[in-house]
Chain A
């Protein structure tokens, strides 16, 4: 039992020292224990912090473990650390991302069909933000590129795996009063990351290409 407490504390110390998520395998190796035992101890740690309801929690995120501030302080911390706060994404970007996340792998044409508008620039912008990547080609004439989400996407939204995404509601189950009419946004900047090399995009997303 003594040994177990010691190892659990060691894992905690390792996590405390790292700012990036640490993979289970790396934690187990550093503490010199089997992965199964490490997972057990880490699950305990996660619970310990949850029960404590303190300022930070241990999170399983994108296949690793990491300390993160408790979401109940999200608003105030975002206010205090204005300069460190991450920019939130625009609605158009998020809608597109939602479709890619739930429907992946998906082609540009299928994406346009759902959105009712051309999504080329949107996908290019999402790729420059490393939230979306090309994951292959569809085996149909023309072999269009298939798109899917990245590991960066999981990190961005604090998810451990794709299945942690909130399930989309079937709209038919809702009464129309529950639909929230949204004001129409007239402009929206699909900003490309300035350091991004556009030539790495699939040809169909390059400027001046025709669908």
Chain B
């Protein structure tokens, strides 16, 4: 009367993918013999392998068909090796593993070891971190529509560089006697745009260190040309510089 086993260990994972097969078992047997693979006795490994299958069965370990195939293959090899060889008479001849099986085992071992190297690499790289920023450097540059806040702050940074702290009278701009008028600035901007198609922020000013009057005129002019849809203001996604381009 056979007992129903309480548990079954499957030699495979949930997807039916095997990770360890008969070759691995053969290797653990060979390792336990402590002899070179070329000196392993075919009869010994065959009987040990079959013993392993029996043990697995009694432990309710469900092995896949590959194990049965390997066992029958071993028995076949053994019987082939035991066939009387003409001119070769010896009672207790103990054949070594045939070359084809040795090659297969060595190939398997080679990749087991390569897998081990990969495992080391995997462990190593799992602990190597990269920065987590999201500044993507694209093949093409990314320019975003500038916000009014950014535009004002750009002008503001220029204003702060401006040395004179006097509160200037801005009235002349509207009286037309000023050096810089918004209309002139607009004409200047449009002229530049016609020529080059785009103006970098610092090119808005005709002087190296612009005065407050010019800064204000330029600011109002930029707002004006954007309003009448002549051009738009863009900001570089990475570097934050501002440029004015023709629409």
Contact = CB atoms under 8 A, between A and B. Distances in A.
B128 A68 contact: yes
Q: Chain B, interface size: which category?
A: 35 or more
Interface residues of A, number: 76
A179 B118 CA distance: 17
Interface string A9-33: 0000010111110100111011000
Given A17-B238, A88-B122, A190-B17, A66 B130 contact: yes
Contact of B20 (A114, A166, A176, A184): A184
A169 B35 contact: no
A117 B126 contact: no
A70 to B, nearest CB: 8
B110 interface: yes
Contacts of B118: 94, 97-98, 101, 157
A184 B15 CA distance: 19
A195 interface: no
A171 B23 contact: no
Looking at B21, B22, B23, B104, the one whose CB has the most chain A CB atoms below 10 A away is: B21
B132 A115 contact: no
Interface stretch (B134-142, B166-174, B222-230): B134-142
B127 interface: yes
Given A66-B130, A67-B130, A184-B25, A118 B125 contact: no
Contacts of B36: 175-176
B115 A29 contact: no
B48 interface: no
B125 to A, nearest CB: 4
A181 interface: yes
Interface of A: 14, 16-20, 22, 25-27, 29-30, 66-71, 73-78, 81, 84-92, 94-99, 101-102, 114-122, 124-125, 156-158, 166, 168-172, 175-176, 179-182, 184-190, 192
Interface of B: 9-11, 13-25, 27-28, 31-32, 34-37, 61, 64, 66, 70, 104, 106-119, 121-139, 141, 238
